[in-house]
Amino acid sequence: KNQVEQSPQSLIILEGKNCTLQCNYTVSPFSNLRWYKQDTGRGPVSLTIMTFSENTKSNGRYTATLDADTKQSSLHITASQLSDSASYICVVRGQAGTALIFGKGTTLSVSS
């Protein structure tokens, strides 16, 4: 069964610290993997999209990595800010044009 598992479920860090969120998937064949940021009560917003041939992609302080062989991805947040407090959702697309498969998200809380 195609699944996307994220860890940890929640995370609390101090402002200014770095953190890494994990995403493991069993989707096959694989087309692309996305990371979304969802602020409380708002719709998800795309951070990065990576195809199987891409290993790393950055968007400001967010850096996503992908290992298509081990079916693992990570999202690294550098020098966290209070505004990074949100849910981060990993989403995988199997074959091109098929439905997206969503992870349940990691809730990140950044405290001062």
Q: Is 70 helix (H, G, I), strand (E, B) or coil?
A: coil
For residues 72 and 20, the answer to whether their CB atoms sit within 8 Å is no
Q: How many residues would you count in the chain?
A: 112
Q: Is 68 in the site for another protein (CB under 8 A)?
A: no
Q: Is 83 helix (H, G, I), strand (E, B) or coil?
A: helix
Q: Is 108 in the site for another protein (CB under 8 A)?
A: no
Stretch touching another protein by CB under 8 A, among 16-24, 43-51, 58-66, 71-79: 43-51
Q: Is 43 in the site for another protein (CB under 8 A)?
A: yes
Applying CB under 8 A, the residues found at the interface with another protein are 31-32, 34, 41-46, 49-51, 89, 93, 96-97, 99-100, 102-105
